[in-house]
Amino acid sequence: MGGDNRQDSAAEALGTAALWAGFLFGGMAFGLGVAYFVAGGSEGALFVGFMALPLAFGLGMVAWRAIVGAWFAAKLTTSVLKSRGREDRFREEVKTMLGDIGEAGPTRLPGTWVFVPVAVVVGAVAALLMLIVAEGSRVGAAALLFAGCVGVGLALRRLARAGRLPFPEE
């Protein structure tokens, strides 16, 4: 029975690695494709395309972690205030809080909405940069890059809400 647990953990780790690699390398490939085929392949356009989607992914993960950290700190502060110096009551509050989080998994973690505005901001900046540095169809490249970033944000939000996007741990 212990082997099944290890196999499940290995399969989950492999799935997580594939998901992260897909967002990072797939985003790079999409951005490079836009820069090369639509924007004429200038060096500036290639750099912007290469960085845009992985940046939306990375900054979204950082923002999500910050929101969950603040939420956890607020819940812990509430537990401290509820216990009012009674150690046994504080321990019970924290156990209940941690049990609720553990049982529900990542679907109960707040802040999954943050992926969309982060992706919109990254996409807008990348689109503006693409308009400045691209040599070919600037508007087409900018629109595709913006749409790609927003698509990444929406996909990440959906995966996080479904519990399929692992919460980043230290």
Q: What does the pLDDT read at residue 5?
A: 66
With beta carbons less than 8 A apart as the criterion, state whether 120 and 151 touch.
Answer: no
Ramachandran category for residue 137: left, alpha or beta (phi over 0 → left; psi -120 to 50 → alpha): beta
pTM over 0.85: no
Q: What does the pLDDT read at residue 54?
A: 93
Q: What does the pLDDT read at residue 126?
A: 93
Q: What does the pLDDT read at residue 38?
A: 81
CA distance linking residue 67 with residue 111, whole number of Å:
6
Q: What does the pLDDT read at residue 69?
A: 85
The low-confidence residues of the chain, meaning pLDDT below 70, are 1-8, 85, 97-108, 136, 167-170
**How does pLDDT run across 119-167, given as a tens digit for each residue?**
999 999 999 998 888 776 788 888 999 999 999 999 999 988 887 777 6
Structure tokens that stand for 163 in this block: 């519990």
Q: What does the pLDDT read at residue 113?
A: 92
Q: What does the pLDDT read at residue 78?
A: 78
% residues pLDDT > 90 (the chain): 32
